[in-house]
Amino acid sequence: MFSKSNPALGAASMRSFNTSNRMTEQPASQSLSESIESLSSIPRESHTGLLSIADTVARIFGLPPPTANPFTQSGLTLGAIGIAAAIVRLIGGHAVTFLKRRLIVACEADARDDVFAWILAWCADQKFASQSTRFAVASVARSSTSTSTSAVDDEFSHLPSYQFLPAPNSTHFFWYKGRFMWITRSRPKPSPMGSSSTTSTGAVAGEKITVSTLGNLFRGSVRSNNLKLSSASGTVSTVVKAVDKSSARMALEDLVEDSRKLFAERDLKRTVIYSADQYGNWRRTRSRPIRPLSTIVLDGETKKNVLNDALEFMKNEKWYGDRGIPYRRGYMFYGYPGTGKTSFVTALAGELKLNIYVISLANKGLTDETLTELMVDTPPRCILLLEDIDAAFVSRSGANPAAAASNTNNSTASGTIVTNVTFSGLLNAIDGVAAQEGRILIMTTNHIEKLDPALIRPGRVDVKVLLDKATRAQIKQLFIQFYTKPISSDATTLESSADAGGVGAALKESESAAVGCHVGTESLERIARRFCERFPERGVSMAAVQGHLMRFKADPEEAVAHAHSFVDSVVDKA
Ligand SMILES: Nc1ncnc2c1ncn2[C@@H]1O[C@H](COP(=O)(O)OP(=O)(O)OP(=O)(O)O)[C@@H](O)[C@H]1O
């Protein structure tokens, strides 16, 4: 039948027989030959097609048919089996992927995305994170809202607290709103080129977190099955998808929303700081408890005026729109080092409930293009902070400071940073088309006199604020605050000062609390007066005064006693 249906193969089979006869004349090869023969005994139907193709191809090229040789024949048989296995594997793989897609609903967040941090923080709050046998533990900064993590917490309150998080490359199963879910945190293998950078959550680049749940083919099966039985397949898939959307997917969305809210609630009590990375993307770098504005001690009405100006700006978007004026406000905080410029920005951000987006012109990855991209990605309501701007741009050079430095400008000789951003690129970022409406720009400098007038012209910088060396009144105020136990962190925060009068009210509150305080028989107010009288007017920075007080944390009298020698040592150098 074999030779009948294919005469060419029939002949081949005869030749094969002859060949094996020859082989029997060589005893050394006999056992091998037998085993090959046994392979050939696999039902011929399974490889007939392949053998006949091989024979036909050989005939076309005038070669002896491969079936004449038992080695070739067995090789072809093995090949056929291999191909069949590969096909089964391919189909199997596709089937698994297909089923996964159908049955598992999942969402994935990259480590560089904020959602990653939200979900991780959400996990830390869940029971499964502390019950799991594989978890990561990470320290967290203490805040007024942080919950105690152990019985000995108070004893070690000087140390950071800690929280349990899903471990990298682990899966955690849990129930959420009556639905079975699992979270997988997957971390890529470390690159042989060196250490990967980590994000603020400690995750490495390329790390992902995936939240998965079962689709509705399994859940609510009565409904689905009923539909399946009575509907055409197209309808079923549509209906299943619809059911899916209303539950499995929605459950994932709920989870992400819950984690976002949880994160936002924590963030309300903190100031979040974003920095530009080397690729020109914003990355959340840290968050810190809101610094109460009352802890910033400035001369005269400076603090009140700046806060009122910023609040006024934030309330008047329509006013700007009606007049076609770009809805942006620029501030320049300038003055001697250590006078509170950065601290004031942080406290203002907390007061205005804005996050801070810091651009460091020393960032080598920053070019005019990436700077423009950053501007586009800046949220409408935020503080954009450019610190120590004089270190990068001292005069209108149109190029980076390296050029400026070589341009015999002595002022650039010290503390100069090299940047790839051009001066025009910077101006464009500040108020070009890409600049976000609604943002508050704050630049800080120790040397306003060195700046190009174009950088600080009205429209770019609307309000210039001098933060000078300390007056006696400031020193007295700082002294009182330093030795006064805060009533509570909330009381000193100007949360209620959304109205313009809030500043004064909150300041009075912290002052009156301090005045009531006594050290021995003398009021703190009187000791503070004695202290500040030892300082010259505008002789030292507030940072220097704070540094002195830090040496006598628990003893205001000692701080007074050593004030003269301190002043002598500092003022001469100032
Ligand atoms: N006016 C101030 N009120 C309260 N604290 C101040 C004040 N000025 C400085 N300090 C304290 O001094 C330290 C340094 O202040 P800060 O970094 O804000 O100064 P700066 O003007 O930004 O300095 P630099 O110009 O060197 O960057 C901070 O710990 C801050 O609390």
Ligand 1 near 275 CB (within 6 A): no
pLDDT digits (tens, 9 = 90+) for 340-357: 999 999 999 999 999 999
pLDDT band at 20 (very low <50, low <70, confident <90, very high): very low
Question: What spatial distance separates the first Cα and last Cα of the chain, rounded to whole Å?
Answer: 110
Residue of minimum CA distance from atom 29 in ligand 1: 543
Give residue 291 CA to ligand 1 midpoint distance, Å. 12
Domains and CATH numbers, the chain: 2-98 (no CATH), 111-148+156-189+197-268 (no CATH), 271-466 (3.40.50.300), 472-571 (no CATH)
One DSSP character per residue, 90-157 reads HHHHHHHHHHHHHHEEEEEEETTSHHHHHHHHHHHTSHHHHH-SSEEEEEE---TTPPP-STTTTTTT
Ligand 1 near 292 CB (within 6 A): no
Question: What pLDDT score does 567 carry?
Answer: 94
Distances (CA, A) of 359 to 212, 221, 419, 536, 556: 37, 54, 12, 36, 39
Ligand 1 near 171 CB (within 6 A): no
pLDDT digits (tens, 9 = 90+) for 280-292: 788 888 888 999 9
Ligand 1 near 337 CB (within 6 A): yes
Higher per-residue confidence, 338 vs 361: 338
Give residue 498 CA to ligand 1 midpoint distance, Å. 25
Residue of minimum CA distance from atom 27 in ligand 1: 337
Question: Measuring CA to CA, which residue among 128, 153, 127 is closest to residue 140?
Answer: 153
Question: What pLDDT score does 34 carry?
Answer: 56
> What span, in angstroms and rounded, lies between the C-alpha atoms of 48 and 5?
11
Higher per-residue confidence, 384 vs 501: 384
Give residue 292 CA to ligand 1 midpoint distance, Å. 14
Ligand 1 near 341 CB (within 6 A): yes
Give the helix/strand (H/E) hosting 533.
helix 524-533
* pLDDT, averaged across the chain: 74
Distances (CA, A) of 202 to 199, 447, 475: 5, 37, 40
Residue of minimum CA distance from atom 28 in ligand 1: 543
Phi-psi region of 538 (alpha: psi -120 to 50; beta: other; left: phi over 0): left
3-state DSSP call for residue 286?
A: strand
Mutating to test ligand 1, I would choose from 273, 507, 546, 549 the residue with most ligand atoms within 8 A of its C-beta, which is 546
Question: What pLDDT score does 17 carry?
Answer: 35
Give the number of the atom of ligand 1 that is nearest the alpha carbon of residue 470.
1
Residue of minimum CA distance from atom 17 in ligand 1: 342
Question: What pLDDT score does 89 carry?
Answer: 84
Mutating to test ligand 1, I would choose from 273, 303, 331, 339 the residue with most ligand atoms within 8 A of its C-beta, which is 339
Query: Quick one: average pLDDT of 61-72?
Result: 71
Query: Quick one: average pLDDT of 133-151?
Result: 53
Give residue 489 CA to ligand 1 midpoint distance, Å. 20
Question: What pLDDT score does 170 carry?
Answer: 82
Q: Contact, 455 vs 389, CB < 8 A?
A: yes
pLDDT band at 229 (very low <50, low <70, confident <90, very high): very low
Is 0.90 exceeded by the ipTM? yes
What dihedral do alpha carbons 358, 374, 330, 458 form, nearest 10°? 140
User: Is pLDDT at 25 greater than 50 in this prediction?
Assistant: no
Question: What pLDDT score does 47 carry?
Answer: 53
Give residue 383 CA to ligand 1 midpoint distance, Å. 18
Using DSSP bridges, classify how beta strands 440-445 and 383-386 pair: parallel, antiparallel or unpaired. parallel
pLDDT band at 186 (very low <50, low <70, confident <90, very high): confident
Give the number of the atom of ligand 1 that is nearest the alpha carbon of residue 345.
18
Question: What pLDDT score does 511 carry?
Answer: 44
Give residue 157 CA to ligand 1 midpoint distance, Å. 26
Ligand 1 near 475 CB (within 6 A): no
Give residue 301 CA to ligand 1 midpoint distance, Å. 18
Question: What pLDDT score does 159 carry?
Answer: 62
Ligand 1 near 338 CB (within 6 A): yes
Q: Which of 201-210, 223-232, 549-558 shows the lowest mean pLDDT across its residues?
A: 223-232
User: Is pLDDT at 542 greater than 90 in this prediction?
Assistant: yes
Ligand 1 near 343 CB (within 6 A): yes
What's the predicted TM-score (pTM) here? 0.63
Give the number of the atom of ligand 1 that is nearest the alpha carbon of residue 446.
25
Find tokens 């009182």 and name the residue: 480
Using DSSP bridges, classify how beta strands 208-214 and 104-110 pair: parallel, antiparallel or unpaired. antiparallel
Ligand 1 near 542 CB (within 6 A): yes
Q: Which of 95-109, 409-423, 489-503 shows the lowest mean pLDDT across its residues?
A: 489-503
Ligand 1 near 342 CB (within 6 A): yes
Mutating to test ligand 1, I would choose from 291, 484, 542 the residue with most ligand atoms within 8 A of its C-beta, which is 542
Mutating to test ligand 1, I would choose from 304, 343, 478 the residue with most ligand atoms within 8 A of its C-beta, which is 343
Question: What pLDDT score does 323 carry?
Answer: 93
Ligand 1 near 296 CB (within 6 A): yes
pLDDT band at 137 (very low <50, low <70, confident <90, very high): low
pLDDT digits (tens, 9 = 90+) for 428-464: 888 887 788 899 999 999 999 989 999 999 889 999 9
Query: Quick one: average pLDDT of 370-387?
Result: 90
Find tokens 């101006």 and name the residue: 427
User: Is pLDDT at 196 greater than 70 in this prediction?
Assistant: no
Q: Which of 92-106, 142-156, 166-180 has the highest mean pLDDT?
A: 166-180
Residue of minimum CA distance from atom 13 in ligand 1: 543
Question: What pLDDT score does 468 carry?
Answer: 96
One DSSP character per residue, 150-209 reads STTTTTTTTS-EEEEEEPTTEEEEEEETTEEEEEEEE-PPPPTTSPPPB-TTSPBTT-EE
pLDDT digits (tens, 9 = 90+) for 252-297: 999 999 999 998 888 778 898 999 887 778 888 888 899 999 999 9
Query: Quick one: average pLDDT of 358-364?
Result: 86
Query: Quick one: average pLDDT of 544-562?
Result: 95
**Burial environment of residue 41 by CB neighbours within 10 A (0 to 12, 13 to 18, 19 or more):** exposed
